[in-house]
């Protein structure tokens, strides 16, 4: 059982003081009964809470999918640049959201934003082998040697990269799939092949592809199906 004011605060972003006022104005009902006391206890599994007759949807965590544009940094705060959190709709801003994994400032595409630390760890830990695929464009020609080298692993200063798949799409583009995410990993892997990455877009995490209808710069909640695809 939890205090009603605490639940409303955490789900709506209202302050304790605001919630107290809402309760006093008799705008809150629990199972169709008006509640005015801030310390009234509810069972979030069973009780139906409404504010102005509208049911409060209680979510322990949220999972947002973002189609990241260039120019945003994957951080919660930054002194210099705008962060991906500024693309999150206002209604979610009161939560402790963070990007689950980093994309470089100039990388675009699929990014997950959540307040569920355990989930983020599960999809990011190299031990869990969740695949991440990127559409990559380079200045030089893609070649079979790159496929071989990436499969074997590339020696970076932190050690050898885990086997990665490269599928050549055309002269300068390919799809690369990794199960880890070292700093600037793809750019550094191609640099070892004397090539510069000119475009990088994440297109898939686990079995979840970047939704076609999600425009760059937009963000929305994952559906149940999408959520399940990530860890599959
Ligand atoms: N590898 C990179 O070099 N940059 C990214 O943003 C992601 C993977």
Task: Report the catalytic residues.
Answer: 104
Residue 151 has a pLDDT of: 98
Distance 217 CA to ligand 1 centre (A): 18
Phi, psi dihedral angles at 107 (to 5 degrees): -95, 145
- Express each pLDDT in 126-145 by its tens digit: 888 899 999 999 999 999 99
For residue 139, the tally of other CB atoms under 10 A from its CB is 11
| pLDDT mean across residues, the chain | 95
Provide the pLDDT confidence category of residue 231 given band limits of 50, 70 and 90: confident
3-state SS assignment for residue 227: helix
Contact in structure between 133 and 104 (CB atoms under 8 Å)? no
Distance 58 CA to ligand 1 centre (A): 35
Tokens of 82: 């705008």
Residue labelled with tokens 């994994």: 101
The closest residue, in CA terms, to atom 2 on ligand 1 is 184
Q: How far is CA 185 from the centre of its chain?
A: 19
Domains identified in the chain and CATH numbers = 2-55 (3.10.290.10), 63-120+211-231 (3.30.70.580), 131-205 (3.30.70.1560)
Contact in structure between 78 and 85 (CB atoms under 8 Å)? no
Q: In degrees to the nearest 10, what's the CA dihedral of 41, 46, 51, 55?
A: 170
pLDDT at 232 over 80: no
- Express each pLDDT in 43-63 by its tens digit: 999 999 999 999 998 999 999
Q: For residues 17 and 128, which has the higher predicted lDDT (pLDDT)? A: 17
């Amino acid at each position: 059982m939890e205090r009603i004011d605490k639940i409303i605060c955490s789900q709506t972003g209202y302050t304790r003081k605001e919630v107290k006022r809402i309760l006093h104005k008799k705008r809150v009902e629990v199972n169709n009964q008006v509640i005015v006391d801030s310390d009234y206890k509810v069972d979030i599994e069973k009780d139906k809470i409404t504010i102005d007759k509208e049911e409060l949807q209680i979510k322990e965590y949220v999972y947002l999918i973002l189609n990241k544009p260039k120019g945003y940094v994957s951080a919660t705060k930054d002194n210099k640049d705008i962060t991906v959190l500024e693309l999150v709709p206002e209604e979610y801003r009161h939560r402790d959201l963070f990007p689950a994994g980093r994309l470089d400032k100039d990388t675009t595409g699929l990014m997950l934003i959540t307040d569920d630390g355990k989930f983020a760890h599960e999809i990011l830990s190299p031990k869990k082998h969740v695949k991440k695929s990127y559409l990559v464009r380079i200045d030089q020609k893609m070649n079979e040697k790159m496929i071989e080298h990436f499969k074997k692993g590339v020696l970076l200063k932190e050690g050898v990269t885990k086997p990665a798949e490269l599928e050549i799409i055309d002269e300068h583009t390919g799809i690369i799939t990794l199960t880890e995410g070292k700093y600037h990993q793809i750019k550094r892997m191609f640099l070892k092949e004397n090539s510069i990455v000119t475009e990088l877009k994440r297109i898939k995490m686990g079995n979840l592809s970047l939704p076609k209808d999600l425009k760059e710069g937009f963000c929305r909640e994952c559906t149940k199906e999408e959520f399940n695809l990530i860890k599959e």
